[in-house]
Every structure is written in C-alpha cells, then in structure tokens.
Structure 1
Amino acid sequence: MFIKWMKQIFKPARSVTKRQKQHQGETPEKKDRHALPSSFEQNVGMLKSKFGKSPDFVLNELVNPKGLTLSAAVCYIDGLVETVLLPDLISAVIHLLDNEDSIQDAARSASEFRSMIPMGNVQSLSTEEEIMRAILAGNVLILLKNNDWMLGVGISGGVRRSVEEPTSQTVIRGPKEGFTEELSTNLSLLRRKLKTPALKFEQHIIGTYTQTRVVVAYLDGIARPEVVEEVNTRLKAIDTDSILESGYIEEFIQDAAITPFPTILNTERPDTLAGSLLDGMVGILVDGTPFVLIAPVTFFNFFHSSEDYYQRYDISTFLRAIRFVSFFVALLLPSLYIAVTTFQQEMIPTTLLITLTGQREGTPLPALFEALAMELIFEVIREAGVRMPRVIGPAISIVGALVLGQAAVQAGLVSSAMVIVVSFTAIANFVIPSINMASAVRLMRFVLMLLAGTFGLFGILAGLIPLLAHLVSLRSFGVNYFMPYAPYFKSNMKDLLLRVPWWAMKTRPNQKSGRNKFRQAPNQYPTSSDEAGVYQAEDKPQNKGN
C-alpha cells in the first residue's frame, strides 16, 4: 500500500491527465464559450458585471467633438496598457465613427473595421473567453452598436523592469543583458540573437486563474521534431490553477520525479538560450519570470558556462577542469576526511596523522558529528544571508562564519582541520555554475557523510555506485542523462570536459540535434599570414650574400 501511494505521488509529469471536475454543473471558474449578444447594452453590462467594482477597470463611452454620444465604448485595465498610445487610438475610433458612411461600410464585418484601426495587432473577439483573455493581457476593447463582436487592440504596457545584467549568471566577457519578467521583451531579445525565420514559437495558455502564456522556442531543422512534439504534449497535459514561475512547469514536465538531480536547465541569459537552440535544444519561456527552461540536457551541461565559448579554448578547458574538480571536492571531501580519520588512519602520512590527532585530542565529538554540525551551521548562515536585506546580508554571513568558526575552535568543540575542510567544501560548491546542480550536491554530501561515518571508505563506495547507476538511468526528453559516455559518442567529446577550438567543432551534439548536423563548413583551420599570401615578394627579408 505504501509503495502504491508513493508511486501515485511521484507519478511522472508526462502521464498527467486532465483533472476531474468535482462539480459537473456551472461554476464561477468555468470558461464562458458562448457567443456575444448583438446588444450594445448587454455587452456593456457583461463587462461591468465582470470588472465593474474593480478600481483599475475603465469603461468610457465615446463622444464626438460635437458633444454627441456615439454608440461605442472603449474599456481596458489601467496599468496594463500603454497610456501614451491610448489618446491616439480613441481619436482614431471617434473619427471613424463620426463618419456615417464609414459606419455603414465598416459595420458589415469585423475584418473591414479592423483594417481601419491605425494600430498593429488588432483582433476580433466573439466569445467571452476571448474577451476576458484579451483585456487581462493588456488589450483595449472597442465595443460597437449592433455587433456581436468586439475589437481588441494590443497596446499593452505599464510598469516593466528594464533589461539588466543577470544576477545569478554573471560573466566577465560576454553580453550583459538578461531576460526580464515580460514575455514579449524576452522574445525580442531572442530574436535579436537569432535573425532567422527558422526560429519558431508555439504558445500555450496554462493556469485556470493565472492564464499564463508559455512559449516553446526552437530552430526548425536543428531541433528534433519528436522532442518538440513531446514538449508540447507535456505542456498541453498540464491542468492546474496557477503558473507563477517556470519552476511550476519544470516539475510538471520533467522525466524523473524522484531524483535530486535536475533534468531541465534554467537560465536568464539570452545568449545561453540562443546557443542551446543552435545545438538542437528547446527553450520554454514563461511570462512573469526571467528564468527560461532548456531541454533536453545532459549531466555535463550543468557545468558549462556561456563564457566558455567567448574565451580561448585552452582557458575554457582549464576553467571546466576546475569546475569538475570542485564538484568532486564539494561532494566527497568531508566524507573522505571522516572516513580516513575514523576508520582508515593508516592511509594518512604519519606526520599529518600526528598533527590531526593533536588537534582532535580535546574535541568531545566524533568527526561525523563535527562535520554535520559545521555543515548545518554553514547552511543556516548561507540561508540567512540570502533572506536578509541586501545591505547587511553579505556582511552578516561572512562575519558569522568567521566568528562562529573561530569560537568553535577556541572552545574545543571542533578541530581546526574540520573548519578548513568544511570551508573549502562550501567554496567549491559555489564554483558549480548551475544552482540546481549545486543544491543536489549539497544534499548528496550529507548522505555520503553519514555513510562514511558508519562504514568508512566502503560506505562511500556503497553510496557512489548506486548514485552513478541512478545518473546513467536518467533521461531528459529521450536523451540519456550521461551521454556521451553512456551511450558513447566520440564526436560529442569535443565540447564536454574540454572545449576544442570553434573551427574543430563541425557537428552538433548527437541525440540532441535534428537533420541539420553541421555547424560550419569543413577546412576552417586558420592559416598563417605567409600561407595566406599576405606578404608580397618584395616585403620578405632578403638573404644577402657576401
């Protein structure tokens, strides 16, 4: 029974079905799909019944310059529209309606009247569902007499955060622009990077109450069609009340629910998303958050940074080596220290063993409890530094760690070596570019510490073997998580632990890209000036004989 209950809770998102409604009758949340009445007064009354008591709802009947009331009105949500463009729109509508011939000609169809509006993104709305979605998305509604449709003019605006440098993924060399909470701004940032009609967008509306716009971005011909179809299928299967951040989407569509390791990458950098799309991956942009999801990914993508491709390949390879070494340090260093000081002391050199033994002579706790106490204290300090106000947060975290560490050593509660091990482990954890992967390492570190304190080095191996088997078994939208090692692809090794020069990376990664496998033409190896014929014969040094 317990196993069945756990399987139901951690059911994969791809098998999510539409939830069953508890009430079969009409409910306030049920979407209105019936057509609008042709009565102008009924349509105005419908809008007032929906938003009439809201202070940000504006509905004004139009009046021509002669003071005569026209059988038309405009309504919008204050704060969601661009107020600078609103007077021009109202003046244009009044000018059209004040001409009786234009009224008679335009009243025949919505498309004819729509062509007369001097604004872009004008659409005709014929159901209450379309009207509610349009006005809440920042459209201005135009109501006309004796028509069973309304016009929605897209002049959304209001207060928005400007494009700024990303705060969670900073680089020394590279673009300094990051995504914002506005979906249209994010799409434009991506368009500026990829100026090609092959860049495709597919939109979904998810969330009963939030009506959040979710856009799937991919490059036609480079992304695998089955991956794009799978992403759209999983998004369509989501039936929930709200989507407030891309983390909601990530939990709904990820392949494995019971795993600490992320199978979907997130970024707030447009260049990172553009580079991922060029490799055949798919981006998922969510309105209201600057963090974009990228899939499918492998384990090694979480150790790559966009800056790796802006620096020389030898420097980038060195930095990647540091990241992978830091990963193993953050995962294993406390466990190895506990194991060798508790069970395998014969592996420590004699001089170092004497020093460590002298430090631990007055400490009352075993090495396992020392490490657990120091790790927990550091986690508390780090979390407090994040939640505190930015002015005092960094100072409190740094001073708190120094003061508590020094006080614990002087009080004889922990040894100096343990403080060094825990501090270096925490610093190494920050080297990992992905916060999600760094959090997974923090969690697994505690498990390995417990195994090391119980069984020594044998316990560490007993924990690493199932962990490696678990990583190999994971998949991200059909792509093996440990690819290109399992399965092995020699061509993918050019951009993995090391990065070869750009002229040597001719093909895109296997299992990720579609039919367009080639990045560039062959024979891109740079030539020297002499080989290129830059120097003329008279410019070359002459060997003069005696």
Structure 2
Amino acid sequence: MGQVTPPNHEPVSGNIAHDIARIKKIFDRSSDIIFREFQIGGSQGAAIVFLDGMVDTLIVDTDIMEPLLRYGEQMTQKSGLTLTGLESLLRKQVISASQISTSGQIQDVVDHILRGDTVLLIDGVDKALYISARGWGMRAVEEPATEAVIRGPREGFTEDLVTNITLIRRRLRTPQLKFEGIQLGRLSKTDVAITYLDGIADEALIEEVRKRLNRIDIDAILESGYVEELIEDSSFSIFPQINYTERPDRIVANLLEGKVAVLIDTTPFALFLPVTFFEMMQASEDYYQRYVVSTLIRLLRYMFLIIALLLPSLYIALLTFHQEMLPTSLLLSAAASRESVPFPAIVEALLMEISFEALREAGVRLPRPVGQAVSIVGALVIGEASVSAGIVSAPMVIIVSITGIASFIIPSYSQAITIRLLRFPMMILAGTLGLYGVLLGLLFILIHMARLRSFGVPYLSPLAPFHASDMKDVLLRVPWWGMTNRSTETGKSNPRRMKGSLRPRPPRRGG
C-alpha cells in the first residue's frame, strides 16, 4: 500500500484558484469530489466544494446556491460591504442552512468535506464557511434483528450516530444526559459519543472511559468490536467484559443504573459498561413483565446454562469412568446403544459437537431463508444417518441436541459463545479425568471469573463480593417497588432510585 498524503496544514489563502488547486491536489484521483464555481453579485468569485453522495443536493441547491445567486447582487450593491463583512452577512442573513461554522485552515476544510459538509470559499476572504448539508442514504429505524422483542419498544439503533442519539434523547428528556464526542481512527475519523447521566454515573468511571478511548491510536474503527477489544480490562479472557445491544431502551436502563455507554458511528451496536456475569443472563423483557414470570424464566436460564456447559461432560465422565453411578436400566440401555459405535464416548461427543457448531455457523452465514433450511435439514439428516450407520449412538444425539437448545436460551450472544467454547475443554477433561476433571474445570472457571474486572467492577458481583441489597435482581427479580436502590458497584454517586415507598396499598374495607 502507498503512503497516504497528509492533508495540508497551511491556512486558507483567500485566492480561490490557489485554494481549489490545493484541495484538488489533496483529493487527487478522487472522482466523487465536486467543485462548483460561481459569482456572488456578478463580480465576487466563490466556489462550493463537497463530496458527491455525502450531501443532500436539494439542500445545496435551495439553501445555499439559490440564496447566493438570487441575493448576491443586491447585497454587494446596497450595503457596500467589505469582503469580511460579506462573509459575515452570508453566514448570518443569506444562507438558510441550520448549521454554519467558519475556519481558516485547509486541514479543517478537508475534514469538513470528508464529514459530509459543504464548504464555501469566497475570493479575497481568508476563511471558509462550512455548511451542514449532509444527506447520505441510511437505514430506517426498525426492529432489532439480533434481539427479539416480546414486550417492549420495537425501535433499534441504526448506523447513523445522530439518529441513535435522538432515540436515547426521546427516552431521557433531561439535561443530565451527556454526550461527549470524540473521533477515533487516523484514517476513518469515526465519530464516537461517550454517553452517561451526570450526577448518577461515577465520575471516576467516566474519566476511566475517556482515558481508555483517548489512548486508542489505530488506522480505522469500522465496528464497535474494535473499540471493545481495545478498552476491555483483560484482553486474553474468553468472557466478555463489555456488553453491546441494538436496543435504545436497554441502553437507557443501564444509564439509569450509573453505567456509561459508547455510541459509535456506522454501526447499530452500542456498548455499555461495566457489566457482570449475572447481568449477561438478564433480558430487557425481565423488567417489562410480571416479576413472578421474570423470576421463573431467570431460574430456567440458569438451569439451562449449567446444562449447556456440563451436560456432555457429565455424560462422557459417567459412561467412561463412573458407570456405577448410573441406574442399571439406564446403563444397560446406554451400553446397548453404543454396542456398534467404534469410538469412545469422548471422540463421539467431539464429532457431534463440532458438526453441530459447523451447521450452526453455516446457518448464520448463508442467506436467512436458505440458512434456516440448511441448519434444520442438516441436523436431521446427519443425526439420523450417523445413528443408522453406527457412527454415533442415539443418546449422544439427544445430549448434543439438548445442549444446543440450552445455549440458545442465554440472552447475551457473546456470553452464549463463551459457554459454547468452554464446553470443549470441559469434555476433554471429563474424557481424561472423569468427574474429577469436570470439578477441576469448574474450579478453574470460577477462579478466573472471580479475578476478572470490568472497569473496576468485580465480574461476579454482587455474589463475590457479596452485596445482600443487590441480590434482589440476580436469580430473583423483586417487584419494581422493592428495587429502591441502584447497584452498589455502579450507583455510588446517587444510590437512591425512587423516593419513599411505592408499594401499592389496597384500600381498607368497611366504614
């Protein structure tokens, strides 16, 4: 790759021919840059510069070109303005675009052109006017594709940062909501917004987020995953320490808990931090439906989390090393089904699990209608054919199917992938050391999780360290009137969520 020519840092000269020549040199071999030269008042030379496809040409025609061409002659004849006064009058009275700024550096001219603004150059004026006329095509606000909504708002983030900020503003109409803008990427110059609630989020957490983001020095930021890997606490851990979502309501809920969100232009996924293991097991719908239903669903999730991680390992360990722990009838049935299988249980399980993961990945990568058919038909055909050919046993197909279903119940996709990956070393430990290997693997996982931090917050909080007040929203979900305080770890600046007791009081009977 050739070396990228850095933009010119010289000031705007006021000689329109010279400035345009410098801009053309910087944008050499760029066919999408448009130069439109004209005259204001019949004698004053001017030019607009913009990138084709990045601006709304209707705004350029009606709010910039038409006023300049129509009223230019009257302005110069009636007011007898100096060139500097002409620039000020154009900005304050003539151009009807909503956002206009000025600067005298070629570097700023280049940056604004690349950002989608229209640049106005006036002959004899050593400043450029930057007029906001951005109008590139963007996706409409629609239901999130990766987070199914049962009950709740059906709006999802888009790839436009301004739209995403607006979706959050609609839900939090308070001046306490702050958006701090920075740019990341030497070439992409991607707009990033640090989002938090002033007075609720801990100032130390906000400063730490600022410091980690400002430390990033990379060519380009193309998606939120870049930022996630560059700012997380433990890069080599398999567990996600920053969560992401497409749902504005979920971001708002976490902001109200004292957390910080990071919105990134060109991606619909917003990051929020810090997070804990137990928060990864929670879904937005837990707070939109009755607390009894939410509690039962959470208990179901944790039960299937254990199944997704341990079921194949326990099956391998029991069949290989601990047959005496199985009931006689079940042992005889399993032995009969494995009579024609040429592989030990560990090899059989690894073959089936790897095949299942390959089918799942193929279903994700293919077009949606084709992918669903391939994953379903592939699983049925391969499973039935493998049993008929005596390569795997029928109980193993059942074990792998239940395990696959269990992994789909975990709400966080990144956490579900972690459990899916941990399943393989657990199976190897079970095939070599039996239940002792399973116990050893669990101890290693728990010790690693206990050492993890997400922006200073312990990953197993509020269980380790134990916070009794926060246990209302872990395995159980108490009614809203019972959750009077925010999380101990993230709500230190403003721990109280509601005023007084909002517990419903039924009317008294009798006179």
Identify the TM-score tier after normalising by the shorter chain: over 0.9
Using the TM superposition, give the Cα deviation of residue 514 of structure 1 relative to its aligned residue in structure 2, in angstroms.
3.9
Once residues 430 and 251 of structure 2 are traced to their aligned partners in structure 1, the CA distance between those partners, rounded to angstroms, is 40
The one of 86, 91, 115 equivalent to 2:92 is: 115
1:124-156 alpha-carbon deviations (Å, 9 max, x no partner):
122222222211111111111112211111121
Task: Provide the TM-score with structure 1 as the length reference.
Answer: 0.89
The yes-or-no answer on 1:468 pairing with 2:446 is: yes
The yes-or-no answer on 1:520 pairing with 2:482 is: no
The yes-or-no answer on 1:261 pairing with 2:239 is: yes
After TM superposition, list the pairs within 5 Å mapping 1:11-410 onto structure 2: 28-51=4-27, 53-63=29-39, 68=42, 70-89=44-63, 90-98=65-73, 99-100=75-76, 101=78, 104=81, 107-108=84-85, 113-116=90-93, 117-410=95-388
Is the contact between residue 7 and residue 110 of structure 2 (CA under 8 Å) also seen in structure 1? Answer: no
1:484-506 alpha-carbon deviations (Å, 9 max, x no partner):
11111111111111111111111
1:422-461 alpha-carbon deviations (Å, 9 max, x no partner):
0110111011111111111111100000000000000011
Is the contact between residue 96 and residue 102 of structure 1 (CA under 8 Å) also seen in structure 2? Answer: no
Q: Which moved more, 1:492-501 or 1:365-374?
A: 492-501
Q: Residue 204 of structure 2 aligns to which amino acid in structure 1?
A: E
Using the TM superposition, give the Cα deviation of residue 63 of structure 1 relative to its aligned residue in structure 2, in angstroms.
4.2
1:265-309 alpha-carbon deviations (Å, 9 max, x no partner):
000000000000000110001110000011111111111111111
Is the contact between residue 157 and residue 268 of structure 2 (CA under 8 Å) also seen in structure 1? Answer: yes
Determine helix, strand or coil for the equivalent of 2:446: helix
Q: Which residue number in structure 1 is paired with residue 408 of structure 2?
A: 430
Once residues 288 and 80 of structure 2 are traced to their aligned partners in structure 1, the CA distance between those partners, rounded to angstroms, is 59
Once residues 378 and 179 of structure 1 are traced to their aligned partners in structure 2, the CA distance between those partners, rounded to angstroms, is 32
Q: Residue 513 of structure 1 aligns to which amino acid in structure 2?
A: G
Structure 1 residues 43, 269: CA separation in 2 closer, same or farther (over 3 Å shift)? same
Once residues 239 and 33 of structure 1 are traced to their aligned partners in structure 2, the CA distance between those partners, rounded to angstroms, is 20
Is the contact between residue 83 and residue 124 of structure 2 (CA under 8 Å) also seen in structure 1? Answer: no
Once residues 390 and 87 of structure 2 are traced to their aligned partners in structure 1, the CA distance between those partners, rounded to angstroms, is 82
The one of 394, 419, 427 equivalent to 2:397 is: 419
Is the contact between residue 83 and residue 125 of structure 2 (CA under 8 Å) also seen in structure 1? Answer: no
Structure 1 residues 113, 69: CA separation in 2 closer, same or farther (over 3 Å shift)? closer
Is the contact between residue 116 and residue 133 of structure 2 (CA under 8 Å) also seen in structure 1? Answer: yes
Once residues 211 and 458 of structure 1 are traced to their aligned partners in structure 2, the CA distance between those partners, rounded to angstroms, is 52
Determine helix, strand or coil for the equivalent of 1:242: coil
Is the contact between residue 313 and residue 500 of structure 1 (CA under 8 Å) also seen in structure 2? Answer: yes
Q: Which moved more, 1:32-41 or 1:495-504?
A: 32-41
Using the TM superposition, give the Cα deviation of residue 52 of structure 1 relative to its aligned residue in structure 2, in angstroms.
5.5
Is the contact between residue 122 and residue 153 of structure 1 (CA under 8 Å) also seen in structure 2? Answer: yes
Is the contact between residue 244 and residue 271 of structure 2 (CA under 8 Å) also seen in structure 1? Answer: yes
Using the TM superposition, give the Cα deviation of residue 45 of structure 1 relative to its aligned residue in structure 2, in angstroms.
1.2
Structure 1 residues 191, 290: CA separation in 2 closer, same or farther (over 3 Å shift)? same
Is the contact between residue 7 and residue 26 of structure 2 (CA under 8 Å) also seen in structure 1? Answer: no
Once residues 31 and 325 of structure 1 are traced to their aligned partners in structure 2, the CA distance between those partners, rounded to angstroms, is 58
Q: Which residue number in structure 1 is paired with residue 477 of structure 2?
A: 499
Using the TM superposition, give the Cα deviation of residue 409 of structure 1 relative to its aligned residue in structure 2, in angstroms.
0.4
Q: Which moved more, 1:148-157 or 1:362-371?
A: 148-157
Cα RMSD (Å) of the superposition? 1.7
Residue correspondences, number: 505
Once residues 196 and 219 of structure 1 are traced to their aligned partners in structure 2, the CA distance between those partners, rounded to angstroms, is 9
Using the TM superposition, give the Cα deviation of residue 109 of structure 1 relative to its aligned residue in structure 2, in angstroms.
8.4
Once residues 72 and 277 of structure 1 are traced to their aligned partners in structure 2, the CA distance between those partners, rounded to angstroms, is 47
Once residues 132 and 295 of structure 1 are traced to their aligned partners in structure 2, the CA distance between those partners, rounded to angstroms, is 34
Structure 1 residues 481, 157: CA separation in 2 closer, same or farther (over 3 Å shift)? same
Once residues 60 and 8 of structure 2 are traced to their aligned partners in structure 1, the CA distance between those partners, rounded to angstroms, is 28
Q: Which residue number in structure 2 is paired with residue 451 of structure 1?
A: 429
Once residues 174 and 105 of structure 1 are traced to their aligned partners in structure 2, the CA distance between those partners, rounded to angstroms, is 59
Once residues 476 and 103 of structure 2 are traced to their aligned partners in structure 1, the CA distance between those partners, rounded to angstroms, is 55
Structure 1 residues 61, 52: CA separation in 2 closer, same or farther (over 3 Å shift)? farther
Is the contact between residue 264 and residue 295 of structure 1 (CA under 8 Å) also seen in structure 2? Answer: yes
Determine helix, strand or coil for the equivalent of 1:421: helix
Structure 1 residues 360, 251: CA separation in 2 closer, same or farther (over 3 Å shift)? same
Using the TM superposition, give the Cα deviation of residue 93 of structure 1 relative to its aligned residue in structure 2, in angstroms.
2.8
Is the contact between residue 8 and residue 26 of structure 2 (CA under 8 Å) also seen in structure 1? Answer: no
Is the contact between residue 295 and residue 476 of structure 1 (CA under 8 Å) also seen in structure 2? Answer: yes
Determine helix, strand or coil for the equivalent of 2:317: helix
Gaps of 5+ in 2: none
Structure 1 residues 220, 42: CA separation in 2 closer, same or farther (over 3 Å shift)? same
Gaps of 5+ in 1: 1-26, 538-546
Once residues 490 and 68 of structure 2 are traced to their aligned partners in structure 1, the CA distance between those partners, rounded to angstroms, is 51
1:77-110 alpha-carbon deviations (Å, 9 max, x no partner):
1111122212122122334532115572572486
Structure 1 residues 456, 29: CA separation in 2 closer, same or farther (over 3 Å shift)? farther
Q: Which residue number in structure 2 is paired with residue 11 of structure 1?
A: none
Q: Which residue number in structure 2 is paired with residue 440 of structure 1?
A: 418
Q: Which moved more, 1:325-334 or 1:77-86?
A: 77-86
Structure 1 residues 148, 223: CA separation in 2 closer, same or farther (over 3 Å shift)? same
1:378-422 alpha-carbon deviations (Å, 9 max, x no partner):
111111111112221100110000000000001111110000000
Determine helix, strand or coil for the equivalent of 1:487: coil
Determine helix, strand or coil for the equivalent of 2:278: helix
1:24-65 alpha-carbon deviations (Å, 9 max, x no partner):
xxx74445433222222211112222336423211111246x
Q: Which residue number in structure 2 is paired with residue 4 of structure 1?
A: none
Once residues 59 and 29 of structure 1 are traced to their aligned partners in structure 2, the CA distance between those partners, rounded to angstroms, is 21
Q: Report percent identity of matched pairs.
A: 44
After TM superposition, which residue ranges in structure 1, 4 or more long, deviate above 6 angstroms?
A: none
Determine helix, strand or coil for the equivalent of 2:368: coil
Once residues 312 and 484 of structure 1 are traced to their aligned partners in structure 2, the CA distance between those partners, rounded to angstroms, is 23
Determine helix, strand or coil for the equivalent of 2:415: helix
Q: Which moved more, 1:430-439 or 1:30-39?
A: 30-39
Once residues 367 and 29 of structure 1 are traced to their aligned partners in structure 2, the CA distance between those partners, rounded to angstroms, is 60
Is the contact between residue 264 and residue 297 of structure 1 (CA under 8 Å) also seen in structure 2? Answer: yes
